[in-house]
Structure 1
Amino acid sequence: MQLTLGPVLYHWAPERWRDFHYRIADEAPVDTVVVGEAVCSKRTPFKQAYIPAVVERLEAAGKRVLHASLILVSLPRERRQTRELMQAEEAEVEINDLSCLASLGERTFSAGPFVNVYNEGTAGFLARRGATRICLPPELPLSAVKTIATALPQLAVEVFAFGKMPLAISARCYHARAHKLTKDNCRFVCEQDPDGMPVETLDGAGFLSVNGVQTLSHSSASLLRDIPALRTAGVASLRLSPQDCDMVAVARLFRDVADERLDPEEAESRLRVVYPDVPLANGFLHGAPGHARLAAEI
């Protein structure tokens, strides 16, 4: 079973973003890394100059590199940016919006978890268009994951296994609004929250996390205890979404469990130390509310 590190969804300082990927290249036991800006096109210029060096470092370390498209394409400059990425022959792409297909031509591609693939029919459509791997949305139950993987053995099926779960994307920026700013004059306040801005209920309970125009879960997915069942279901890869913690340590825990060198329960205990302040959840995989923490299926 392979490991994929997804794109950094948060607005980290450019040098931090670069150095994070350098360390991933040198130390993390992951097979594939997705780079680029997926959430907000206004953030793209901050990391653009560092992408070539990051890609070179990752590839030199033996990692496969995928270039992420935007999740939501709406403005003319975003359409232009997407078209240029899709037509860049040297880049393997991961599409996060179906509008990308118009510019891909006959090229193969990967599909990210932001594309709504909920059944084998949709997965089959993407496979016929050239998809070779699909990261399924985090809200799918194990039964649906197994159905898709069984129906399309030619596809590498990936599941979202760690990180705050993406729930929604909007053309409006709640992060800016919360600071009494507009989206066009946001001052990039999202950089103040490297793990998302917490949203609580009126009773003070953790509810959601806001990341610019994106809404994420308050809890973090952790499918460490579900890896045996995922392997049996035909899952080829696990996706780790970067959070404000030691992602090399996270990757090592998932690698050790996937390779059966570490007990899943022990790994999850260690994960709570690495990422201590965020509750862990696997409810979606078990057909329950996403924030729930349930026992692994046998």
Structure 2
Amino acid sequence: MNLTLGPILYFWPKQDVFNFYAEMADLPLDTVYLGETVCSKRRELKLDHWLELAKDLRACGKRVVLSTLALLEAESELKMLRRICNNGELLVEANDMAAVQLLSEQGLPFVTGPSINIYNLRVLKQLYNSGMRRWVMPVELGAETLQQLLQQADEARLAELETEVFAYGCLPLAYAARCFTARYRNVPKDNCEFCCIEYPDGIPVRSQEGAELFTLNGIQTLSGEHYNLEHELPRMQQIGVDLVRLSPQREGMAEVVKRFDQRLRGEAPDSIALVNSQQCNGYWYGKPGMDWLESSS
């Protein structure tokens, strides 16, 4: 199995993004996903900047994939999607079905992100026949469901299919036309003043008892706790998972990558030190997502 770094889900200043990837370039990551997946108004980096970063990361031996928006709402967003799909060089992660259609029409192989609902073999086969060669399992699915799907995929002879599992970070749960960050600031979405750049880790939402429920990130709702499957890597390998996704966070990301790499190499580091958050892993075990269950391995 190899480690991948998912796209940055939050809105960070341009220089912070470049500094982040400069640090990631020297870490044991096989693949890095680049691009904006949440909101097209986040224009600190344009497509040319992402392509520049891709060039630098590839020079450091990384595979690079361009990620697309999960929710398209305007013709301008569709035009940008076409530019990404027509980049002519890099593999694309499709995060909505418009991207799947554009890539399929061109006969291009592609990745499907966790926002594409793949819950059974029929959908898996249809997307595979359309050109999908890697899929990121929807975050709400668990190990047993994944094992069954991969057994069925093997029987169906989907030989070139790679499977990637979201294994660390705040879980992307839902997208909406309304911008929750703008609403929190009491400003219109169309005149949001790009206020989510002031919340580089999103806005925490807690229960009356103080439990971390969600994280608001523009139009995206994330889990309040960090999903962490570091102890489940042996089972993933047994099931047949090819890639393990780590979702970028502003602080402590290098430590996360190093610890996952140690576990992949059979070492046993101390548990990952989380930044201002608790852990969860319930979905993997078929339980409520915010639950934390001790690994049986």
Aligned to 1:288, the other structure's residue is in SS state coil
Say whether 1:230 aligns with 2:242. Answer: no
- 1:101 Cα deviation (Å)? 2.2
Say whether 1:120 aligns with 2:121. Answer: yes
Say whether 1:247 aligns with 2:253. Answer: yes
Residue matched to 2:3 = 3
- 1:45 Cα deviation (Å)? 4.9
> For 1:241-272, what per-residue CA distance to the aligned partner results, in whole angstroms no more than 9, with x for missing partners?
00122212111111110111x22xx442xx12
Is the CA contact 2:251–2:275 (under 8 Å) kept in the aligned structure 1?
no
Is the CA contact 2:252–2:275 (under 8 Å) kept in the aligned structure 1?
no
**Counterparts of 2:84 and 2:212, CA distance in 1:** 37
The sequence identity of aligned pairs, in percent, is: 35
Say whether 1:197 aligns with 2:203. Answer: yes
Residue matched to 2:187 = 181
Pairwise mapping of residues 18-57 of structure 1 onto structure 2 (< 5 A)? 18-25=18-25, 27-57=26-56
> For 1:210-268, what per-residue CA distance to the aligned partner results, in whole angstroms no more than 9, with x for missing partners?
000000000011001111111111111100000122212111111110111x22xx442
> For 1:118-162, what per-residue CA distance to the aligned partner results, in whole angstroms no more than 9, with x for missing partners?
222212211111111111111101011112222224211111000
Pairwise mapping of residues 152-191 of structure 1 onto structure 2 (< 5 A)? 152-153=153-154, 154=159, 155-191=161-197
Greater mean alpha carbon deviation, residues 49-58 or residues 246-255: 49-58
- 1:44 Cα deviation (Å)? 3.4
**Unaligned regions of 5+ residues in structure 2, if any?**
none
Residue matched to 2:109 = 108
- 1:198 Cα deviation (Å)? 0.5
**Unaligned regions of 5+ residues in structure 1, if any?**
none
Residue matched to 2:223 = 217
> For 1:10-63, what per-residue CA distance to the aligned partner results, in whole angstroms no more than 9, with x for missing partners?
0000110111112111x2111000001010001135344522321111000110
**Counterparts of 2:255 and 2:236, CA distance in 1:** 21
> For 1:142-190, what per-residue CA distance to the aligned partner results, in whole angstroms no more than 9, with x for missing partners?
0111122222242111110000001100111010011011111111111
**Counterparts of 2:76 and 2:275, CA distance in 1:** 39
Residue matched to 1:281 = 280
Residue matched to 1:90 = 89
Aligned to 2:235, the other structure's residue is in SS state helix
Aligned to 2:292, the other structure's residue is in SS state coil
Aligned to 1:44, the other structure's residue is in SS state coil
Taking structure 2 as the reference length, the TM-score comes to: 0.94
Is the CA contact 2:13–2:44 (under 8 Å) kept in the aligned structure 1?
no
Greater mean alpha carbon deviation, residues 184-193 or residues 83-92: 83-92
Residue matched to 1:147 = 148
**Counterparts of 1:285 and 1:19, CA distance in 2:** 33
Aligned to 1:101, the other structure's residue is in SS state helix
**Counterparts of 2:112 and 2:187, CA distance in 1:** 33
Taking structure 1 as the reference length, the TM-score comes to: 0.94
Letter in 1 for 2:75: P
Aligned to 2:42, the other structure's residue is in SS state helix
RMSD value over aligned CA atoms?
1.4
